[in-house]
Amino acid sequence: MGSKPQEPEYECVDIYKQPSLQHPKLQNHRIQMRPSDEALAMLSGDTSSENLSNDEMVAEFDIPEEGCPQGQVPIHKPRNNFNHTEKHFQPINGFGTVGQHAAVMKKIDATPWRGASAWISIYQPKLTNKEQFSMAFIWLNTEYEGERTSAHFGWAVIPALYGDSRTRLTAYWSQDTFESGCYNIKCKGFVQIDRRLFLGAGFANTSVVGGQNFKAFFAINQDPKTNNLLLTVGKIYLGYWPEELLPFFTEGAESVIYGGLTNAPSDGIQPFNIVSPPMGNGNKPLDEEVDLKHTCYMHSLKYVTQDYKSVDVDTNKVAEVADAGICYDAIYFDKLGGYGQTFTFGGPGGHCDV
């Protein structure tokens, strides 16, 4: 595994005294230490890395091997004071916002889904200023009477949040509106379970265009027994958002999106002056892409049905959306070799709002 940072990026706290369990709605919450058997069965076939090619590796994290002592969990300590309520650092509420752009596969199926998963290639897009960010995410949304519950999970480069330009394991959630949401555990909500891996952890290696490729399996699924929303990385059960804090997820997610998202600062700036950062690895996908070496990708796209079965995404239930085609694109491949349902996405960024 990666070397231990000079300064620990996390502190170990008693699992029962972690910040999220201080939330007023979680006073009597019983911690879910492991996924239910039904949830494990749902995930069992999804995390296999049997189809690794010679130039692919499963990504590892730059975290100490030993992790926290038994009974304690790691809580990330960002090295700067980030104001998570600043709107221009929040994931988009719809596409086409000035300064924020996406290239994604979007659910068009009318029936709510109870989860989603994919293998995602890990890159480190090069940003030009600390107010930009670039992400590769799976996100679930559901809405009721104008209020939206949202959960996002994947990797991101966010200098304003992390104080550096490393690619890091990142989540975002909101329980009523985006204005009340936050990254990782910046607000009380996410319950950490794993003793070693934590939200905010940096990847030890990132992919090289045309060369060594690193990827990781990400899943965000509703547990059939508890209704908690579980986060899984590979075979690691990271933790969950409790059912008590997900008021509109009872029947699942109305909207499910897989893909990339970028942000560039736009306050007080004319649109033609905004410079958006690269998405993915900075390359637009190609129609003839077959070896997945040159663009960022997600493969083995799956979703969870109403009766809690993890199944392949159906080509008739998703659509490609790229709101700034001048800068970014997304291309879907139905059953691409051993990769299953796959799409490539990304682009160089630039003056995307012209």
Residue 13 pLDDT? 96
pLDDT digits (tens, 9 = 90+) for 115-160: 999 999 999 999 998 889 999 999 999 887 777 788 999 999 999 9
Residue 80 pLDDT? 64
Domain presence at residue 60: yes
Q: Is the pLDDT of residue 95 over 70?
A: no
Confidence of residue 1 (pLDDT cuts 50, 70, 90): very low
Considering the chain, what percentage of its residues have pLDDT values greater than 70?
A: 87
Both tokens assigned to 57: 């590796």
The residue ranking higher by pLDDT, 296 or 335, is: 296
Alpha-carbon distance 1 to 70, whole Å?
20
Alpha-carbon distance 277 to 168, whole Å?
17
Residue 86 pLDDT? 45
Domain presence at residue 157: yes
pLDDT mean across residues, the chain: 87
The residue ranking higher by pLDDT, 176 or 258, is: 258
Residue 289 pLDDT? 66
Domain presence at residue 208: yes
Domain presence at residue 294: yes
β-pair partners for 230:
221, 240
Answering whether pTM is above 0.85, one says: yes
* Strand 213-222, strand 56-58: pairing: parallel
pLDDT digits (tens, 9 = 90+) for 289-314: 677 888 999 999 999 999 999 999 99
Q: Is the pLDDT of residue 82 over 80?
A: no
Domain presence at residue 323: yes
| CB 293, CB 280: distance < 8 Å | no
Domain presence at residue 351: no
- What percent helix, strand, coil does the chain show, rounded to 5? 10, 35, 55
Alpha-carbon distance 175 to 83, whole Å?
18
Considering the chain, what percentage of its residues have pLDDT values greater than 90?
A: 64
Q: Is the pLDDT of residue 31 over 60?
A: yes
Q: For 217-246, what is the mean pLDDT?
A: 95
Domain presence at residue 237: yes
| CB 245, CB 81: distance < 8 Å | no
Structural domain harbouring 240? 10-80+92-346
Confidence of residue 3 (pLDDT cuts 50, 70, 90): very low
Q: Is the pLDDT of residue 241 over 90?
A: yes
Confidence of residue 341 (pLDDT cuts 50, 70, 90): very high
CB atoms within 10 A of CB 71: 10
* Burial of residue 81, with CB atoms counted within 10 A of its CB: 0-12 exposed, 13-18 middle, 19 or more buried: exposed
* Strand 318-322, strand 100-107: pairing: antiparallel
CB atoms within 10 A of CB 307: 7
Domain presence at residue 318: yes
**Number of domains observed in the structure of the chain:** 1
Q: Which CA distances in Å does 320 have to 50, 117, 315, 323?
A: 28, 17, 10, 10
The residue ranking higher by pLDDT, 181 or 16, is: 16
